Chain A
Amino acid sequence: MPLVVLTPLFAFVLAATSVRTRRSAANMAMFGAVVMLALSLLVAWGMTRRTTPFQVTYPYLNVPVAFTGPPNFQGFGIDIILRVDRLTSVAMIVMELCVIGALAWHRVMGRSEPGAARFYALVSAFLFAAAGALVSYDLAELFAFWGLAGAVTYLILAHRWSSIEASRSGQVALVLPFFSDLALLCGIAVIYSHYGLQNIGTLVPILHTTPGVGTKSLVAISVLLFVGVAGRLALWPLHAWLTSNARSSPPAGSAMAQSVWSVVGILILYRLMPIISASNAATLRDLVYACAVAAIAAPALTLFGNDPRRALILAGSGVAAIGAGLVIHAYAISSTTLAVVGVACVLAVAPARAAAMLAASAITAAMRTDDMAEMGDGWRRMRASTVALLLSALVIGLSACGALAFGVSSSSRFGLAMGEAILLVSIAAIRVFFAVAIGPLRRRRAFEPDRVREAATASLSWPYWLATAGAVLAVASLFPAWIGYLDGHKHNAAPVGGILVWVGAAALGIALTAAAFVYDKDGALRASAALGRWLDQVLGIAAGLLSRFVYEPVLAITLRINDLIPEGDGELARAAAASGRLALAAARLPAVPIVIGLAALLALVVGIVSPGVFR
């Protein structure tokens, strides 16, 4: 099992040290990913024959810090605990499929990307770190892999360093998730400071039995852990690190970032839920609300603007929010065995997200625009890519239906919110397809529609494969046997009526979008463009206010202090030097006459001020 994690590391080391050409770098990364997939399949096959997880432990550091006090605080250690259960093995396979698909697509479509060797080496490192995070069972170890994966994600997303736009949006990809990563670190740190443990297995039983740990601490821990995971799941409003890089990063990098991180994020959320749920019912309820708002807001935002890749990212973010909401909701209603359905839905949508991103990137590259209002006629000119986009959009729109049928009553308040979310997600995803597929592709300056050609043949099949994998997983999530395989519990079949209700909500969204686009595609896209401009204006004003009243004053104060300190110590030094010069000059004067003169002066002053001289 350790080989599963180490294989991409070996690939990275080899790629970073000895591979120079684009082709050999691509082969090396692909080889690492394929070997890893084979090993993961082997582990998954082994898992079908046993119910207990595979686990190995290696001590990384262990330091005694006290000989007295609570035993848990007498030492500090980080163990590398690699633990693979069925869910983890499936998640790992899904993640590897996404990476392999994106890599294979990039080999053909990313030929003109600069720094190919660097890109492929980083992909291997990303796979290593993400796999490490997936199998981690020690919180510090988890954060180590998580942080490493985060750093590599930034390097992948900011790959086109020489472009100013990529450079700027790359900074968002560093800073925003770094903020949420530090929330995760703070959460883990607060856990350690209260319990002195980091092993999830030994931590969970003592969450409520440790004296001195109150509800406030547990609430703080829950919120910090949730924010940490939500940042990498790209839940609204922490999605900007993906959307801001939608255009400026290599499409394969963006596809990998969103699909792999959604898998890692949802699995870690699932794994941390026993800790998060230890807080209280109100906190869980609030977290469910937060997920519901994110699930509605993210796809709703796609209506504000016409960037196809941004729209697909936000639609995927909506499904991730639905999945996260389902996981937390299951704990909130004490049906913990249902939590896995939320994971199943995100596992299903991950390959579809990658597929949609790759297909949309091929289309935008061919049509040379990122504005859906300028796209069209894809069904005739780029049928293969457009069909892949359709398939992946359908999977994104429908992937949550099975999970919702298992876990949520459609008549509950949460159910209503989820219904709205699934409606908006299906609109957001399928809207891109309609914008691309139908309507005319108009002539623009320096753009001749007749020159639009389908993407290179060797790249065409990968979005299909990925979308198909997503479809298979989405269909599987309707069956209790699959859900039972994932978590090892028995589940009842989802009610057919429930499935129909959720599929109906998604179908309604698809039908509404189709009607709007068939009736007046240009009008629909003009409206969303106007909304997008309005949103940009609002955000611009907000950013201006933030800059005017927070950023600039703080910077001005800092810079003033920065100038003041050298000025101040410079003045002090000059004063000291002046006093020294004065002392030096005084030392050169003849001492006795000076003393006599000063004495005479003193006598004169005393005489003048004495009573009777002037008064």
Chain B
Amino acid sequence: MILPEIVLASPSPAAVPGAGIFTSPLILSLTIWLPVAVAIFMSVIPNPRNRYDTVMKQIAFFTNVGILFILFVAYNQFQTFLPTVQYEEKLPWLASIGATYHLGVDGPGMTMMMLSGLIGLTSVLASWGVRERVRSYFCLLLLTQAAVNGAIAAHDMFVLVLFWGAAMIPIALLILGWGGPRREAATWRLVGYWGLGTAALLVAIMTAYAANGGGSFDMDVLLKATLSPRVQLAVGAALVIAAATRLPLFPFHGWARDVYSEAPLGVSVVVAGSASRLGAYLLLRALVAANPAAARLLAPFVAILAALTIVYVALVVIRSVDLRWAAAYLSMVPGAITVLGLAALTPLSIAGSVLSTFTGGLAAALIVAAAWTLTDRAQSRSLQVLSGLAPRMPILTWILVIAALGLLGVPLLASFPAEAMVLFGSFKTQPVGAFAVVAGLVLTAVALAALVHRVLFGQPNPDAPAVSDASLGETWYLGLLAGALLWVGLFPGGPKLPGTDQTVFDPGLLNVMAAGITDIASPYVASTTAP
């Protein structure tokens, strides 16, 4: 009964030549419920004496390949000139409180979905080395991905907060069950901070809901309601706290160090790559797009948070003694840049932030994964032990260098156009924040140079344990992340046939992302008289 209703309730996107040929109304639900269904299936099939552990891994892998394929089809068929929500699904759910099962993505949402798909596949590949309780691990990993996809695709605030909070549970269980020696502390820190963020999000949504008369949680209604500036400010402040705990931003970053260093690699990749990017996505959706008055009022504070985060990270990394900790802190840098763009509130900076969410997710996941793999292969996390590893691990050396360059936004990598757009768009409205972030980037370069020199190119340590380079499997997941960074850096608008504007195979992340940006940024367009 549900399927026909979804079909009936889903408006088909308008036909634009070259896109929209494939308009299945179930695409978004598939990306959410397919992993859930597979997780349930995996949890009930018999697995005597763990005989089918490899099969479990393969099931999780092919599920993610399938999701990525579905998402790629959706991405490929996305109508880039249509600013409205696409692949929409709407079902009545809790009519008494006005909650509906409403999904849909615009340009930024599609970009996030692609990020989540890529990160999901990477996380499964990165988890291939899991040996204990394999079935439970991959079930929880699939549930995590489902929750992240749900939070991205949700077009109803009630659904959003459910998925937002739900993402925390499997991640916490994964860390608690498969983490390192300090896994309990890591888990409770994650639960504490993310719980605080979820509470703040709930407060924001309930405030907006109550101020709007309590009729509906639908984003089309709730986020387009005209709230008084005071209510907007209260909602905005709560949203900033929710986002800051998730991204994370200083001083709400207490979970990051422990989680990224203690969680299993696949979980770290998911958290750094996609789950934490939800913070920026929430700010974009619920603050920038919906509450312009609050966004303007809070912008200087948000810019200060971004600047503080990046400077703090650089200073801590300079004195860090643990490579995984250093990588955990460094993974906060892209989030700060994204948030600067959202604080600047110009169309270009907002567009840059959306692109930065994608590229930052990749760069953060890459640095965390590279550091994790390197410490695993070198049998030590201590920066006093790790030294001069480059000759003995050339693949990991290249990957770590690419990750470092990706964080800094070096040309040819995807983070370059993202950072350029954010900075170009920010200097007019947030000059101090932009300068501070640039200064923070300089400090980050110092910290990264010191780190890379020490670990890779310093004098080899004769007392260090034996090291080995990345295996083929490790090269695959690291290469996937690095390759995506390079691909988008080389072809942000998609590869084009020579001499034409016709894209081949990939419509271009920028083109897809731009659909919807114009709507979101419309309140912040400068007047024609004073550019």
Residues of B within 8 A of A561 (CB): 251, 312
Q: A27: shortest Cβ distance to chain B, in Å?
A: 22
Residues of B within 8 A of A277 (CB): none
A569 touching B254, Cβ below 8 Å:
yes
A188: CB under 8 A from chain B? yes
Number of interface residues of A (CB under 8 A): 64
A65 touching B348, Cβ below 8 Å:
yes
Say which size band chain B's interface belongs to.
35 or more
B427 touching A65, Cβ below 8 Å:
no
A171 touching B458, Cβ below 8 Å:
no
Q: How far, in whole Å, are A194 and B428 apart by their CA atoms in the complex?
A: 7
Q: B114: shortest Cβ distance to chain A, in Å?
A: 16
Q: B391: shortest Cβ distance to chain A, in Å?
A: 8
B459 touching A162, Cβ below 8 Å:
yes
Residues of B within 8 A of A74 (CB): 347
B493 touching A190, Cβ below 8 Å:
no
Q: Which of B154-162, B372-380, B405-413, B461-469 contacts A (4 or more CB under 8 A)?
A: B405-413
Contact among B253, B351, B456 with A161 in the assembled complex (CB-CB below 8 Å): B456
Q: Mark B240-255, 1 if CB is under 8 A from A, else 0.
A: 0000000000010110
A598: CB under 8 A from chain B? no
Beyond A63-B510, A78-B417, A193-B428, whether A210 also contacts B531 by CB under 8 A is yes
Q: How far, in whole Å, are A565 and B251 apart by their CA atoms in the complex?
A: 8
B449 touching A175, Cβ below 8 Å:
yes
B492 touching A60, Cβ below 8 Å:
yes
Beyond A151-B410, A185-B423, A558-B312, whether A62 also contacts B529 by CB under 8 A is no
A179: CB under 8 A from chain B? yes
Q: Which of A43-51, A140-148, A497-505, A601-609 contacts B (4 or more CB under 8 A)?
A: A140-148
Residues of A within 8 A of B258 (CB): 566
Q: How far, in whole Å, are A192 and B347 apart by their CA atoms in the complex?
A: 13
Beyond A61-B510, A193-B427, whether A186 also contacts B435 by CB under 8 A is yes
A590: CB under 8 A from chain B? no
Q: How far, in whole Å, are A175 and B253 apart by their CA atoms in the complex?
A: 27
Q: How far, in whole Å, are A170 and B456 apart by their CA atoms in the complex?
A: 14
Residue of B nearest to A59 (CB): B493
Q: B225: shortest Cβ distance to chain A, in Å?
A: 23
A612: CB under 8 A from chain B? no
Interfacial residues of chain B within 495-524, with CB under 8 A of chain A in the complex: 510-511, 513-514, 517-518, 521-522
A64 touching B251, Cβ below 8 Å:
no
A148 touching B351, Cβ below 8 Å:
no
Residues of B within 8 A of A179 (CB): 442
A211 touching B531, Cβ below 8 Å:
yes
Q: A126: shortest Cβ distance to chain B, in Å?
A: 14
Q: How far, in whole Å, are A281 and B118 apart by their CA atoms in the complex?
A: 54
Residues of A within 8 A of B442 (CB): 175, 178-179, 182
Q: How far, in whole Å, are A148 and B525 apart by their CA atoms in the complex?
A: 33
B531 touching A196, Cβ below 8 Å:
yes
Residues of B within 8 A of A63 (CB): 351, 421, 493, 510-511, 513-514, 517
Q: B251: shortest Cβ distance to chain A, in Å?
A: 6
A593: CB under 8 A from chain B? no
B315 touching A171, Cβ below 8 Å:
no
B350: CB under 8 A from chain A? yes
Residue of B nearest to A210 (CB): B531
A174: CB under 8 A from chain B? yes
Beyond A185-B438, A192-B424, whether A69 also contacts B456 by CB under 8 A is no
Q: A565: shortest Cβ distance to chain B, in Å?
A: 5
Chain A-chain B contacts (Cβ-Cβ < 8 Å), number: 182
Interfacial residues of chain B within 184-241, with CB under 8 A of chain A in the complex: 185, 188-189, 192-193
Residues of A within 8 A of B87 (CB): none
A562 touching B316, Cβ below 8 Å:
yes
A188 touching B493, Cβ below 8 Å:
no
B304: CB under 8 A from chain A? no
B438 touching A148, Cβ below 8 Å:
no
A73 touching B457, Cβ below 8 Å:
no
Q: B116: shortest Cβ distance to chain A, in Å?
A: 22
Residues of A within 8 A of B185 (CB): 570
B424 touching A73, Cβ below 8 Å:
no
B449 touching A170, Cβ below 8 Å:
yes
Q: B430: shortest Cβ distance to chain A, in Å?
A: 10
A559: CB under 8 A from chain B? yes
Residues of B within 8 A of A60 (CB): 492-493
Q: A258: shortest Cβ distance to chain B, in Å?
A: 21
Residues of A within 8 A of B518 (CB): 64-67
Beyond A60-B493, A171-B450, whether A164 also contacts B316 by CB under 8 A is no
Residues of A within 8 A of B346 (CB): 73, 193
A69 touching B527, Cβ below 8 Å:
yes
Q: How far, in whole Å, are A104 and B211 apart by their CA atoms in the complex?
A: 75
Q: B245: shortest Cβ distance to chain A, in Å?
A: 11
Q: How far, in whole Å, are A154 and B401 apart by their CA atoms in the complex?
A: 13
Q: How far, in whole Å, are A188 and B457 apart by their CA atoms in the complex?
A: 34
Q: How far, in whole Å, are A162 and B492 apart by their CA atoms in the complex?
A: 37
Q: How far, in whole Å, are A570 and B254 apart by their CA atoms in the complex?
A: 10
Residue of B nearest to A213 (CB): B531
Q: How far, in whole Å, are A68 and B318 apart by their CA atoms in the complex?
A: 45
Q: Mark A52-89, 1 if CB is under 8 A from B, else 0.
A: 00000001111111111110111010100000000000
Residues of B within 8 A of A64 (CB): 514, 517-518
> B interface vs A, CB < 8 Å?
185, 188-189, 192-193, 251, 253-254, 257-258, 312, 315-316, 318-319, 346-348, 350-351, 388, 390, 405, 410-412, 416-417, 420-421, 423-428, 431, 434-435, 438, 441-442, 445-446, 449-450, 453, 456-460, 492-493, 510-511, 513-514, 517-518, 521-522, 525-531
Nearest 5 CB-CB pairings of A with B: A161-B457, A193-B428, A69-B525, A65-B347, A144-B411
Known: A161-B390, A178-B445. 7 other contacts (CB 8 A): A62-B510, A158-B453, A158-B457, A189-B420, A193-B424, A558-B315, A558-B316
> A interface vs B, CB < 8 Å?
59-70, 72-74, 76, 78, 140, 143-145, 147-148, 151, 154, 158, 161-162, 164, 167, 170-171, 174-175, 178-179, 182, 185-186, 188-190, 192-196, 210-213, 554-555, 558-559, 561-562, 565-566, 568-570, 572-573
13 residue pairs bridging A and B, Cβ less than 8 Å apart: A64-B514, A65-B351, A66-B525, A70-B528, A70-B531, A145-B411, A151-B410, A161-B390, A185-B438, A192-B427, A554-B315, A558-B316, A570-B185
